[in-house]
Chains A and B, each alone.
Chain A
């Protein structure tokens, strides 16, 4: 088991180095001059050259890369061209909002997907199954910006129950934090939940047809116990993979939902960095997204080995 963890960690590291090179290269291929953006149109040539030299953009690309990656390893992702503040600090400020939204959205998604997918798999071609199929199709098809705006119109505008946007820290005021979180979480959760519903349905259906489910019934087990321990327990294995991808996607910022609800998350920050050609901030953000994806995938793989003993066994045998 520990060999498996070690090997997966090393794999992640290799991928991370590749990603960092890619991020660095792509951002330098994007047209536009960050120094001109930062200084505006009325800066003198001397000031322009001075900032350019100071920010290291005159150095060869290879030197720039190693400078960047070297400091990144010590937690220093450079200074934002636009605001002049450290990138690491800017990112850290956004983490609580992003984490709140991602966790709440995945909870909403699972609360939709697990019951709906399971019931529709247990009663295929029933009205419930039909409802699940249609609603997950709808959940996938309705654009999230439109759904978000509709929520704002109804619950913030007409009914006035919830605030229309913004974020309040959990530690400042838990009630307000929750009130601000509801609409963005539901908006982001519905799309993920629609995708997950289909996965739950197909993996439960697949588990139901397995021979070991017939064995469990032949033992005289209660239908409820068969469902929990032989159907859902086994359907969990593929669900964890897809759920992990959804969580990683939510953690790296749901840009449109964040914009609609004025949510100060990482997605919004990355979009602003693109608009301002804030290279160092954008590099930091994209690198962070890559790390999030790698970490979530690593956790998923480890969970997978925990959920399905055959996997760690194969790893140990190698």
Chain B
């Protein structure tokens, strides 16, 4: 296997780890200093990323799912973001590292694929150059070797005629091809963890399926741990092993993907699943139940409600504590520890 790690410097070697999570995030908190006050965007998130497994982080826009991962690599604007908590990657604490200490981990340890490949690729540089940059960022590969490797990477992500594509500019490629280039860039460093931040959101459904397949194939080949950030539950059902549902910067429910889809507990998760159309509904379209919607908007991160953040929109609000107390994330009865939810309300026989 022509994996980048083989010709990498000692960085990748130090990162070799036995079994166990390759990335362990504990009580991660991110707040932005804004003119209106402190915006608490991520309020205590914990998760593990296992090698070869996929963790899906689900939430609507503004739920803090992207910010939480950008914070791990120090990619948030340094002057305005306060990051607290712990994130241990391959035995090393990431939070609090300096720019110079984080740099070897970016790309080589944790690779990232961003949402919109049109804006995430530099429009004035060829894709070959942008992949070569990623290869040479920390490695010692010569220009010629890096270019050859860039061609291999393009072939690996399924771009036809890779040698000539190296000289193409991003605007000369289709959206799906651009996202493949982004994935090639993310793989260039041979990362242990791949964070895909809404990586298929901007793509057509058919292209989306191809990209999902590609990531799964690469994950199997390289044993990469994948963090898939999305608001698309259909994607989650297709690829995730474990799911974490975020609302207003907190985890409201998490669990094994089958368990969570079959027995959602939190009213927010139930609302999300109810808002998703069933593809295999046997009834003709006009006879189906209308899609459920959730009235209201997520809370302002500058002024979070004192109790459950979902309280203002919650359709059940069964417990009197909901308005004043933040419900803790606890195991759902009968699930062992495979399924946890943060709600005082637990549906009967769910």
Contacts and interface: CB of A to CB of B under 8 A. Distances in A.
A309 B171 contact: yes
A222 interface: yes
A212 B120 contact: yes
A216 B133 contact: yes
A210 B114 CA distance: 12
B108 interface: yes
Interface in A210-235: 210-212, 214-223, 225, 229-230, 233-234
A220 B189 contact: yes
Interface string B41-77: 0000000000000000000000000000010010100
Interface residues of B, number: 33
Contacts of A313: 169, 171-172
A138 to B, nearest CB: 27
Contacts of A212: 119-123
B108 to A, nearest CB: 6
A310 B169 contact: yes
A271 to B, nearest CB: 42
Given A219-B137, A220-B137, A220-B138, A214 B103 contact: no
B114 A215 contact: yes
Contact of A310 (B105, B116, B171): B171
Given A219-B106, A219-B107, A234-B124, A211 B114 contact: yes
Given A220-B107, A220-B108, A215 B121 contact: yes
A308 interface: yes
Per DSSP, are chain B's interface residues mostly helix, strand or loop, or mixed? Answer: loop
A218 B106 contact: yes
Contacts of B182: 215
Interface in B102-120: 103-108, 111-112, 114, 116, 119-120
Contacts of B112: 215, 218
A220 B103 contact: yes
B133 A309 contact: no
Interface in B189-247: 189
Contacts of B308: none
A182 to B, nearest CB: 36
A307 interface: yes
A223 B103 CA distance: 9
Interface size class of A (residues with CB under 8 A): 20 to 34
Interface string A267-309: 0000000000000000000000000000000000000000111
A103 interface: no
B125 interface: yes
Interface string A46-71: 00000000000000000000000000
Given A219-B188, A220-B104, A210 B133 contact: no
B21 to A, nearest CB: 21
Contact of A216 (B70, B122, B169): B122
B298 to A, nearest CB: 23
Contact of A218 (B75, B116, B122, B125): B75
Nearest to A223: B99
Interface in B129-147: 130, 133-134, 137-138
A215 B119 CA distance: 10
Contacts of A214: 70, 75, 114, 120
B28 interface: no
B114 A219 contact: no
Contacts of A215: 112, 114, 120-122, 130, 182, 185
A229 to B, nearest CB: 7
Given A212-B120, A220-B189, A223-B99, A229 B125 contact: yes
Contact of A307 (B120, B124, B188): B124
B224 to A, nearest CB: 16
B133 A221 contact: yes
Interface in B71-112: 73, 75, 99, 103-108, 111-112
A313 B169 CA distance: 10
B172 A220 contact: no
A237 interface: yes
21 contacts: A210-B119, A211-B116, A212-B119, A212-B123, A215-B120, A217-B106, A218-B73, A218-B111, A219-B107, A219-B134, A220-B103, A220-B105, A220-B106, A220-B138, A221-B103, A229-B122, A233-B122, A233-B124, A309-B171, A310-B123, A313-B169
Given A214-B114, A220-B189, 19 more contacts: A212-B119, A214-B120, A216-B122, A218-B75, A218-B106, A218-B111, A219-B107, A219-B137, A220-B103, A220-B104, A220-B137, A220-B138, A221-B103, A221-B133, A221-B137, A222-B137, A225-B137, A229-B125, A234-B122
Query: What 8 A-B pairs come out closest when comparing CB atoms?
Result: A220-B107, A220-B106, A211-B119, A212-B122, A219-B134, A220-B137, A218-B112, A211-B120
Interface of A: 210-212, 214-223, 225, 229-230, 233-234, 237, 307-310, 313
